[in-house]
Amino acid sequence: EFYFKQDNIKYITNQLERWYDITLEFDKNISMQTGYTGRIKRTATLQEVVEMLNYVMDVKMEIKGNKLFVKRK
């Protein structure tokens, strides 16, 4: 499992970048101050992870090819 405790969105998405061999692209106005806690099984697909994170975070993540775009909601 991937476990995070009060980690910001940059740390979490950096982990996803390594797990799923993707690149990240962030909007300029994304807050890095909020901390998130949770667990994600390593067997989850990238799409499943993105759906979970979109539900709990104040951002909108979208997959296009091998890029993960992180935008403000």
> What is residue 2's predicted lDDT score, i.e. its pLDDT?
87
pTM exceeds 0.85 = yes
Q: Cα dihedral angle (52, 66, 45, 18), rounded to 10 degrees?
A: -90
CA 23 – CA 73 distance, rounded (Å) = 20
CATH topology of domain 1-72: Phage tail protein beta-alpha-beta fold (3.55.50)
> What is residue 42's predicted lDDT score, i.e. its pLDDT?
86
The angle, 0 to 180 degrees and rounded to 10, between the axes of the packed helices 46-56 and 9-20 is 170
Is there a contact between 41 and 30 (Cβ–Cβ < 8 Å)? no
Q: Tens of pLDDT along the chain (73 residues)?
A: 889 999 999 999 999 999 999 999 999 888 889 999 999 998 999 999 999 999 999 899 999 999 999 998 8
Domain ranges of the chain: 1-72
